[in-house]
């Protein structure tokens, strides 16, 4: 069963993988998300604290309200792990 989700005005946080960057994930996913009405955020990776930096970006975005998360490679793994730990 499918479930429609209204993304208008919702912040979508996209996390790059180790072989990509914030520009790549923005270019890859933002057009479709913008078309759905989402506000897209693609934080730059911080190599010296990659996972901690991504978690911090997710927590900061979530302080403003519900968010959707996604990513590529390690970014996707961090996004899913964070979302499962923060079901709200």
| Per-residue pLDDT tens over the stretch 29-84 | 999 999 999 999 999 999 999 999 999 999 999 999 999 999 999 999 999 999 99
Cβ atoms of residues 52 and 61 within 8 Å = no
The beta strand positions in 1-88, using DSSP E, are 11-15, 39-41, 67-71
Cβ atoms of residues 69 and 82 within 8 Å = yes
Q: What is the mean pLDDT of residues 20-24?
A: 96
Please indicate, yes or no, whether the overall pTM of this predicted structure exceeds 0.85.
Answer: yes
User: Cα–Cα distance between 54 and 44 in angstroms, integer?
Assistant: 9
DSSP 3-state of 68? strand
> Residue 2 has what pLDDT?
75
User: Cα–Cα distance between 12 and 17 in angstroms, integer?
Assistant: 16
């Amino acid at each position: 069963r499918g479930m429609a989700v209204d993304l208008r005005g919702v912040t979508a946080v996209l996390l790059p993988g180790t072989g990509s960057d914030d520009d790549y994930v923005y270019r890859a996913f933002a057009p479709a998300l913008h078309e759905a009405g989402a506000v897209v955020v693609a934080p730059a990776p911080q190599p010296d604290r990659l996972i901690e930096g991504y978690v911090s970006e997710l927590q900061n975005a979530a302080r403003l309200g519900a968010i959707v998360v996604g990513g590529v490679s390690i970014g996707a793994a961090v996004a899913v792990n964070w979302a499962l730990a923060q079901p709200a």
